[in-house]
Amino acid sequence: MNDTTTQVPESGPRYDFTAAEPKWQAAWAGRACFRVEDVPTDGKPKYYVLEMFPYPSGKIHMGHVRNYTLGDVVARYKRARGYSVMHPMGWDAFGLPAENAARERGIHPAKWTFDNIAAMRTELQRMGLSLEWEREFATCQPEYYCHQQKLFLDFLQAGLVERKESWVNWDPVDNTVLANEQVIDGKGWRSGAPVEKKQLSQWFFSITQYAPELLDALDHLDRWPERVRLMQANWIGRSEGAKVTFALAGSTETVEVYTTRPDTLFGMSFLAIAPEHPLAAAAVAHDAQAAEFVAECRSRGTSEVTIEAGEKLGYDTGLRVEHPFIEGATYPVWIANFVLMEYGTGAIFGCPAHDQRDLDFARKYGLDVTPVVLPPAADPASFSLGKDAYTGPGTAFNSGFLDGLDVDASKRAAIEKLESLGVGKGLTNWRLRDWGVSRQRYWGCPIPVIHCGACGTVPVPDDQLPVRLPEDVTFDRPGNPLDHHPTWKLVDCPSCGKPARRETDTFDTFVDSSWYFARYCSPKADVPLVKAAVDHWMPVDQYIGGIEHAILHLLYSRFFTRAMKDTGHVSVEEPFAGLFTQGMVNHESYRAPDNRWLYPEEIEKHADGSVTMRDTGQPVTVGRVEAMSKSRRNTIDPGAIIARYGADTARWFILSDNPPERDMEWTESGAAGAFRFTQRIYRLAEALDGIPAEIMPDAFGPAGRTLRRATHRCIAAVTESLENFTYNVAVARLYELANAITDGERATPEAGLAWARREAVEALARLSSPMMPHLAEEIYARLYPDSSHLVAELSWPEADRALLVSETVTIAVQVMGKLRGTIEVAPNAPADVVLAAAEADPNVAKALEGKRIVKRVHVPNRIVNFVVAG
């Protein structure tokens, strides 16, 4: 079904969400249901729920709806469980789109951003989220970034920040640094100009200082998805090996190499250095061919095509190095395109027999291949290598003093020898690089330093913070508007007073999001963080967001928290005790006969399954279910859904379809089904209108007992599902309860049944309140017009344990593991009674006929299995 066939009935819904939703939102706000203190004194246990804050693009999308609904379920549930819950919201407000809007449409980034924030705040408020808006801030406000500058200066003083030269992707047309993702086929994503590699002086956070603990602490993040921990571990990339110093033959100079396989040193046949290696620079100086080769590597370096092809290119410098163990042996030094300057020492020793890249290289340039690790059961006399290097376990041979040792022992012995000879040592290496944070952009947090010709780099003194962005900037030419500003960068040196120049780079926006979670604890404070507040609320107990942030944002935040601890701002090391990564919201895509993408509103679905264009009737091709994107036109606007069905329906459907960590498909029919359910449970409450609330009867009839058991089982099951993040199962249990209430409505009237129905409807409303908070209030108010409490203020329902036990249990009876019947017995009936009943079942008896029972398995209240022979 689609937009036209699924209309709200003409007569209007009985539950009028258009009136109810704003009413209850106002009620929550009026009674400050979601307010907490920075430093509470109520003695309640704290719970900090946070969803990744949005970038203010202008409109919320379905991913936001899913993210914030999931967080709101947690927040509302935990509040009902007696926790004092902090649930704040804000804006990740710096970034390139605002500058693009300025360049393309002449709107100032600040205006664009704040207009978007206003629009999105309204949309989020319509969702009925239990947010504490009093803590709201945007990272582009000086009241926020002022403190970020202060943190940076503290980090600088603590030695956690450094300025160093680094190779960057430089767009020569836009005059800016490009992130790796912004380089497409070696060209700038906006300008299309070939990207150059350029060395620039940039600011770096020394995240590598924390590499060991960032890795080790992952083991203790037991409420993080295993997948995310693994991705981070791979990203940090610890590797054990050795540093080896090679002497250049006929010279006093040396080359250092990092290797994880010191056991294969006897299999060496060459040494290779990166094109950017200092030794390569020296070769270039007096060798035109070397210069040509290095230049070629540089131009091809960023091309993904080259990397994909994996073609190994090299140039023999003519230099030779001496072997650390073999007296008199020397090996050629090559410049090779597959050696990376950024990893290890920018130089490797090549052992072709036991490394695939080295083997490819050796085969191409005719270098020696000497095996030194003998696979188990291989013959040393005949073992040789073809196209594949041998990297498995084995025994060292052709290796002098290492002969006969297994790989691990051989590694240890080689390192010991290197150390005793003074030409190497064991070393742990990391894949993680320092975090470059300089961006040549306007719409970001200014880096608070001043460059002075006499004093060097001088921090901006505290009393001059914040360094504010100038508002009068122009975007009429490429490059950094801060740099173009006529006066902003011209300042006096705070140290010597002479004319100096402000840093015109701004921070990577990942910096803004690396500490916002801590700022929420004391968002108005005139220091970055109030210790008492962050010590109370941190860490975030449940953080929720997309898997796309599994590495960078989460790793940077973990680093930042450690850095803030080491500079005395917080006491915790880990920012997020619990992490939940949600799946994406996908939708079908549609194409017209001319292959043009169509919006969902432009198509019509028919009963026979065909799909046509609404205006012309032409056939439509239904494409894959994939991520909503503007270019594929398969987006669904949450605002339109909320206007048609209400926020509760949107929230309910987005929770009901599948487990929250998986990708889901937004379907019109599913949303319509969710809407029908909201109407249905309202009717269940309405059906009690004429029936006065009475006191609980002493006894119930059979229908009443059945319904009460369904109610209390539902309480237990929904509670468990909410604890486990299996919200789709919680939804299913609530549907079951609704079905049970319908059965109760239809049952022959009996004493107490009305009471049981009222109990069930109340439970249904309260158990669904984390998901559908407005409807829950509406139903509760209908059941208890005189109540002085909102559902948002009530504690969570408790299941009566006595009612969780059935009056009878159904036991499956198997013969040889195959189901042959079921029997009804009293709970915990003794084994002999159960077995006798099982054998008496006609169908079971038939299966047992003529057989001898060898074994009787009885699992109380569950199953009986007869093992037979003959």
Residues 610-669 that bind RNA (CB under 7 A): 656-659, 662, 664-665, 667, 669
Task: Single out the residue of 97, 142, 194, 237 in contact with RNA (rule: CB under 7 A).
Answer: 237
- Note whether 429 binds RNA by CB under 7 A: yes
Residue type, 312: K
Q: Which of 25, 67, 148, 337 binds RNA (CB under 7 A)?
A: 337
SS3 category, 866: strand
Residue 855 within binding range of RNA, rule CB under 7 A: yes
Q: Does 857 bind RNA (CB under 7 A)?
A: yes
Among 316, 406, 736, 839, binds RNA (CB under 7 A): 736
Among 155, 203, 258, 666, binds RNA (CB under 7 A): 258
**DSSP letter string, 164-196:** EEEEEEEETTTTEEE-GGGEETTEETTT-PBPE
The C-alpha atoms of residue 99 and residue 96 are separated, in whole angstroms, by 5
Radius of gyration of the chain (CA): 35
Among 729, 799, 837, 845, binds RNA (CB under 7 A): 729
Give the DSSP H/E element, type plus range, for residue 561.
helix 552-566
Q: Which of 29, 32, 118, 230 touches RNA by CB under 7 A?
A: 230
Number of CB atoms found within 10 A of residue 859's CB: 12
CA gap 835, 856 in Å, rounded: 8
Is the Cβ–Cβ distance between 176 and 479 less than 8 Å? yes
Residue 740 interacts with RNA (CB under 7 A): yes or no = no
Task: With CA atoms as reference, report the closest residue to 647 among 132, 136, 131, 123.
Answer: 123
Nearer to RNA among residue 23 and residue 680 (C-beta): 680
Touching RNA, residues 750-809 (CB under 7 A): none
Q: Does 340 bind RNA (CB under 7 A)?
A: yes
Decide if residue 846 touches RNA (CB under 7 A).
yes
Under the binding rule (CB under 7 A), the answer on residue 343 touching RNA is: yes
Segment 3 to 22, residues that bind RNA, using CB under 7 A: 6-7, 9, 11
Minimum distance between the CB of residue 142 and RNA, rounded to whole angstroms? 34
Taking CB under 7 A as the criterion, the residue among 110, 329, 491, 732 binding RNA is 732
CB of 478 to RNA, least distance (A): 29
Residue 41: exposure state from Cβ atoms within 10 A (0-12, 13-18, ≥19): exposed
Binding segment for RNA (CB under 7 A), chosen from 55-63, 135-143, 163-171, 840-848, is 840-848
Q: Which of 669, 670, 596, 680 is nearest to 633 (CA)?
A: 596
Cβ at position 606, least distance to RNA in Å: 10
For residue 609, the minimal CB distance to RNA (Å) is 8
Q: Report the residue from 192, 310, 318, 456 that binds RNA according to the rule CB under 7 A.
A: 310
* Token reading at 352: 């072709």
> Counting contacts by CB under 7 A, is residue 828 touching RNA?
no
CB of 253 to RNA, least distance (A): 19
Report if residue 259 touches RNA, rule: CB under 7 A. yes
Cα–Cα distances in Å, from 203 out to 82, 165, 318, 469?
46, 9, 38, 19
Residue 551 as a binder of RNA (CB under 7 A): the answer is yes
Q: Which is nearer to RNA, 119 or 547 (CB)?
A: 547
- What tokens were used for 504? 């015109």
Nearest approach, Cβ of residue 397 and RNA (Å):
20
Min dist CB 379 to RNA, Å, is: 25
Residue placing its CB nearer to RNA in the complex, 209 or 239: 239
Amino acid letter, residue 277: H
String marking each residue 76-115 x if it binds RNA according to CB under 7 A:
----------------------------------------
440 is a site residue for RNA (CB under 7 A): no
Is 818 a residue that touches RNA (CB under 7 A)? yes
Considering CB under 7 A, how many residues would be counted as binding RNA? 89
Tell whether residue 812 is a contact of RNA (CB under 7 A): yes
> Is the distance from CB of 84 to CB of 47 less than 8 angstroms?
yes
Q: Binding RNA by CB under 7 A: which of 63, 95, 186, 241?
A: 241
Examine residue 539 and say whether the peptide bond preceding it is cis (omega within 30 degrees of 0).
yes
**823-846 burial by CB neighbour count: b if 16+ within 10 A, else e?**
bebeeebeeeebbebbbebeebee
What is the DSSP secondary structure assignment for residue 260, as one 8-state letter?
A: S
* 588 is an interface residue for RNA by CB under 7 A: no
Taking alpha carbons only, the member of 156, 55, 61, 208 closest to residue 448 is 156
Residues between 188 and 227 that touch RNA (CB under 7 A): 226-227
In degrees and rounded to multiples of 5, residue 133 shows phi and psi of -70, -15
Sheet bearing 449-452, strands edge to edge = 456-459, 449-452, 499-502, 490-492
Q: Does 816 bind RNA (CB under 7 A)?
A: yes
Q: According to CB under 7 A, which one of 377, 381, 607, 869 is a site residue for RNA?
A: 607
φ, ψ for residue 128, nearest 5 deg: 70, 35
CB of 98 to RNA, least distance (A): 26
Q: How far apart are CA 593 and CA 595, in angstroms?
A: 5
Indicate the residue among 478 and 583 with the shorter CB distance to RNA. Answer: 583
Of the two residues 100 and 260, which places its CB atom closer to RNA in the complex?
260
Residue (194 or 670) nearer to RNA, CB: 670
For the chain, the distance separating the N- and C-terminal CA atoms, rounded to the nearest angstrom, is: 58
Least Å from the CB of residue 335 to RNA: 12
Interaction residues for RNA, span 664-703 (CB under 7 A): 664-665, 667, 669-670, 672-673, 676-677, 679-680
Contacts to RNA from residues 349-378, by CB under 7 A: 355, 357
Write each residue from 262 to 281 as x if it is in contact with RNA (CB under 7 A), else as -, in one continuous string.
------------x-------
Residues 6+ apart with CB under 8 A from 818: 847
Q: How far is the CB of 655 from RNA (least distance, A)?
A: 11
The answer to the question of residue 735 lying near RNA (CB under 7 A) is: yes
Token reading at 815? 């013969």
Give the nearest distance from C-beta 679 to RNA in angstroms.
6
| Binding window for RNA (CB under 7 A); candidates: 127-135, 189-197, 415-423, 546-554 | 546-554
The closest of 171, 434, 478, 431 to 302, measured between CA atoms, is 171
Do 430 and 211 touch, CB atoms closer than 8 A? yes
User: 3-state SS string over 618-662?
Assistant: CECEEEEEEECCCCCCCCCCHHHHHHHHCHHHHHHHHHHCCCCCC
Our finding on whether 298 is near RNA (CB under 7 A) is no
* Strand, helix or coil for residue 97: helix
Query: In angstroms, what is the minimal distance from the CB of 270 to RNA?
Result: 12
DSSP for residue 699: -
Question: Do residues 71 and 50 make contact, with C-beta atoms less than 8 angstroms apart?
Answer: yes
Residue positions counted in the chain = 870
Cβ proximity to RNA, 25 vs 656, nearer residue: 656
Is 425 a binding residue for RNA by CB under 7 A? The answer is no
Q: How far is the CB of 835 from RNA (least distance, A)?
A: 13
